Structure 1
Amino acid sequence: MIKTQTKPERLIGPEGKPNYGYFNAAPNQLGIDDFDYRNAMDKPASRLAKHFDFKQFQFVSLFTKRYVVGIAIADIRYLASAFCYVYDREQDTLVEQTWLRPLGFDHQMSGSSFHGTCAIAGKLSFDIHQGQWHVHARSRHLECDLTLRPLKASLPLALCTPTGYTGWTYTQKHNGLRLDGKLEVNGHQVDLSQAFAGYDFSAGFMRRETSWRWASISAHNQGKVIGLNLAAGVNETGACENVLWIDGERHLLGPAQFEFNRDDLSQAWRITSIDDAINLTFQPLNKRSEKLNLGFLKSNFRQFIGHFSGEICDNHGEKHQLHQIIGLTEDHYAKW
């Protein structure tokens, strides 16, 4: 059984070092300014290095009977970017709008995953109050004013691990959330009675060149609400960010392996674990993709929408069967 520790008030401790491990809740502050950032030769990093080496991104996924919505805001210091897409499950069509802001112009990010605001271009914002997320978006195809509501006393994943030689990554994720508020797609109001959501808050001094694979579910499954987050590639130094929620109860899982074919993106993915707790396939239906090659900055991003099938075992030893459950995967390379 993977154990959690009581959340620190601030992620960065009084000696300028991060608190590492799984927490039972989100820290009130990250405390970035207090981080004692060093270079590879153990010398204090410059102010410029400390500023430009810090990265942060936030993402919210929404799942209704007909639509899948993805909303993201990212700050890599040189550039702030955002996207909002709407996938129509009935028509198998995806429409999107993107925003780019060099050097972070016209945007703000939150220094806390417990309270604060992340926004860009006056179009997208994530407002966090006492750990609860509020999502506001206005794009060409979508308008929403939503509150993400956990089931019962459901706990998020809150995890910090060492990254590279001198960095660290904090990630906070919560899936299988309910939705309150208003969502309109192309001017038509969307029924939220059976809708689900998930969020991702990730920040830290990540590797200059990195990549990850990721999978996410927020859905009904066999009379229960299931949330799932699986990843490989970032938070893997002594811990991993793999977690299953069943009716709000959090089950921390071990490492996962992702197998897929970058030369044929229509082929199914296979996601497994050495302990056999995870045995899933994922069949892509559509995707949101973007390639950026500026030399010193590169990104090869593909987020897939599709169906999961297979089984996954929780911490009580109970196996949960999945059959064509809608969800997301992602394959991302970044040089930032």
Structure 2
Amino acid sequence: MICNGERAVLKENLREIETKAAPHCLIDDSGKVQYGQFNQPIAQLGLAEFQYLSSMDKPASAWAKHFHYKQFQFVSVKTAHYILGFAIADIRYLGSGFCYVYNIAKQTLQEVSWLKPYGLAYGTEPSSMNSRAYINGKNTLSITIKNGQWQLAVETPFLSAELELVCQHSDQVMAMCSPTAYNGWTYTQKHNALCVSGNLSINGEAQHLNDALAGYDFSAGYMRRETSWRWASISAQLNDVCLGVNLAAGVNETGFNENVLWIDGQKQLLGPVHFEFTRVPASGSEQAPIDWHIYSADGRIDLHFSPLNCRQERLNLWLLKSNFRQYIGHFSGVLVDQCGQQHRLDKVLGLSEDHFARW
């Protein structure tokens, strides 16, 4: 356990990470972006009001304002036997998505992916409270948000699902906006360790959702033309504690960060984290990094991650480059909550990600 003096320091550090009342619209009437950690999700982004400027401080063209905006949504679900991942990305001139099922016992991955040219069979709406994102084709995936409640529908040869992520307290959502590069911004909203209801069938076999836990990610904005990030996500039941974790580095660290711990549904904001690992060069039989070390300077986060499997994609197109790797694996180590209580993880299943993008 942490001593009383160290616990007092932790509490003092946490008081420095404060939320502010969420505005109804991210862009105010004067066209300025409102930055910070918010106590609620933001209903509308207000893209039409945003005064987007060039690097020479001149009004950007309508073409640039439209095509420089990016938005992506991701949902993960963990059941007793499977880990599921669903994603839809709208980078304006291209739409993409994926869906995978990881069999925990067999350590096998089934997946489908979508890649659609501009305006064809996909769509998103700029709201994390009321919107619909979809991508169609031989297989279909849609993510619908109604009053902050996330609903997912998917049909593939190996997976059929209609799911709802149950969010009972909107003030426990992590919602933040930070400046990006010279003239952009990124809004990110995430919530982990959510209960799941609905229907799920994998390879023709119905799955129960009694112990299922889920997390989501809504990210949007005028992101860097060339960007990268590292990310880790956990939704798990540890003895009598329901634990959620979101950790990231590379995108949202300009004055604020998106690192958060949920203990039995209660949000606790965290400080910056560092991801330490060695990338393995691409090859015909690519190996994952043996071990990741994810830690914070204040000692509240000290985790090791060992990959088991990976959903990856490499695209090298004219306007677009993407080197995407999302790993499924085990987390071990220690997390310290705001009361100084240590939460020990021993091979807890979760996700990590290493992504480079030029878009």
2:204 alignment partner in structure 1: 187
Question: In the alignment, does 2:153 pair up with 1:130?
Answer: no
Mapping of residues 1-336 of structure 1, within 5 Å: 1=15, 2-121=17-136, 123-150=140-167, 155-263=172-280, 265-336=288-359
The amino acid that maps onto 2:92 is: R
CA distance in 2, matches of 1:27, 1:267: 39
Aligned with 1:312: secondary structure?
A: strand
The amino acid that maps onto 1:289 is: Q
Q: Is the 8 A contact 2:39 2:171 kept in 1?
A: no
Q: Which runs of 5+ in 1 are unaligned?
A: none
CA distance in 2, matches of 1:70, 1:154: 25
**Number of residue pairs the alignment of both structures matches:** 336
CA distance in 2, matches of 1:149, 1:28: 18
Q: Is the 8 A contact 2:229 2:248 kept in 1?
A: yes
CA distance in 2, matches of 1:295, 1:152: 44
Q: Is the 8 A contact 2:277 2:289 kept in 1?
A: no
The range that moved more, 175-184 or 118-127, is 118-127
Cα deviation per residue 1:15-72 (whole Å; 9 max; x = unaligned)?
1011100111111111111100000110000001001100000000000011000000
The amino acid that maps onto 1:235 is: N
The range that moved more, 197-206 or 22-31, is 22-31
2:11 alignment partner in structure 1: none
Cα deviation for residue 152 of structure 1 reads: 5.7
**Which of 1 and 2 has greater Rg?**
2
CA distance in 1, matches of 2:288, 2:42: 38
Aligned with 1:180: secondary structure?
A: strand
Aligned with 1:237: secondary structure?
A: coil
Q: Which runs of 5+ in 2 are unaligned?
A: 1-14, 281-286
CA distance in 1, matches of 2:186, 2:249: 13
Aligned with 2:218: secondary structure?
A: strand
- Which runs of structure 1 show a deviation greater than 2 angstroms over 4 or more consecutive aligned residues? 150-154
TM-score w.r.t. the length of structure 2 is 0.92
Q: CA RMSD in A?
A: 1.1
The amino acid that maps onto 2:201 is: E
CA distance in 2, matches of 1:27, 1:187: 39
Cα deviation per residue 1:213-256 (whole Å; 9 max; x = unaligned)?
00000111121111110000000100100000010000000000
Aligned with 1:49: secondary structure?
A: helix
CA distance in 2, matches of 1:316, 1:38: 44
Report percent identity of matched pairs. Answer: 53
The amino acid that maps onto 2:203 is: N
Q: Is the 8 A contact 1:113 1:201 kept in 2?
A: yes
2:7 alignment partner in structure 1: none
Cα deviation for residue 151 of structure 1 reads: 5.4
By percentage of residues, which structure has more helix? 2
CA distance in 1, matches of 2:197, 2:78: 13
Q: Is the 8 A contact 1:151 1:247 kept in 2?
A: no
The amino acid that maps onto 1:317 is: G
Q: Is the 8 A contact 1:153 1:248 kept in 2?
A: no
CA distance in 1, matches of 2:238, 2:326: 22
CA distance in 1, matches of 2:53, 2:167: 38
Aligned with 1:81: secondary structure?
A: strand
CA distance in 2, matches of 1:73, 1:155: 24
